[in-house]
Amino acid sequence: MGMAAADDQFHVLAVDDSLIDRKLIERLLKTSSFQVTTVDSGGKALEFLGWHGSERNMFNETSISPKNHQEVEVNLVITDYCMPGMTGYDLLKKIKESAFLRDIPVVIMSSENVPSRITRCLEEGAEEFFLKPMKLSDVNKLRPHMMRTKFKNEIEKPEKEEKEEIEEIITIGEADSDMEQLQTAQSLQQKNIDNDINNKRKSMDEVLSPDRTRPRYSDLTVMSN
């Protein structure tokens, strides 16, 4: 199948204007078996993501599969908040406003613990907010976000492709019918979401009061046929 070579390896795009921090995050991510690309600005990040504004239509027409928006698939963007020119927040906004980039999970890092900043980012659609310097334990929290999005993309595909895709992903049980497979995928996704909420609560507790919740999961309901 011509799908992206790195099905088992997630690809992270790391954005930071500090050379030292780029080196650090790259090592952290590679240690966790992620593929990494680092760039030093939001502008370069958008370029890498294939965000060309009007040229985007050109990509669409020539692509073979609906998922193949980018030359290189990016499963998560991790960005510093404070950067000259385009801040991490600006980058987050651009990604979430773009029809074909908005599904990519975005995570923000900052050296400063500013609750209003954190809230703003989460409300704009950031999955998580980490305080720098990042640790290995922080990087371990990234995988659920990437998995959740990957499953979501797989499940929302047009039906004719669905069967092949699901067979590749679902290794749980011996579901024969499409419906059973779809339901298995649903429950797996729900488990991921539940885990994710718990993970996020844990990390958020570190920086925020416990009452903050993000009503973000309503738009992740799976379409049933």
Least gap, CB of 37 to other proteins (angstroms) = 18
Coil, strand or helix: which one is 37? strand
40: contact with other proteins by CB under 8 A: no
Decide if 38 contacts 12 (C-beta within 8 A).
no
Using CB under 8 A, pick the residue from 58, 136, 172, 179 that binds other proteins.
136
Partners of 15 in beta bridges: 39, 79
Task: Find the part of the chain contacting other proteins (CB under 8 A) among 13-21, 62-70, 145-153, 209-217.
Answer: 13-21
222 binds other proteins (CB under 8 A): no
Tokens of 42: 């939001």
Pairing of strands 35-39, 76-80: unpaired
Tell which phi-psi region holds residue 86, choosing left (phi > 0), alpha (psi between -120 and 50) or beta.
Answer: beta
- The interface with other proteins within residues 105-124 (CB under 8 A) comprises 111
Q: How far is the CB of 48 from other proteins (least distance, A)?
A: 23
Q: Residue 131: which H helix or E strand, with range?
A: strand 128-131
Note whether 145 binds other proteins by CB under 8 A: no
Among the candidate windows 23-31, 120-128, 176-184, 213-221, which touches other proteins by CB under 8 A? 23-31
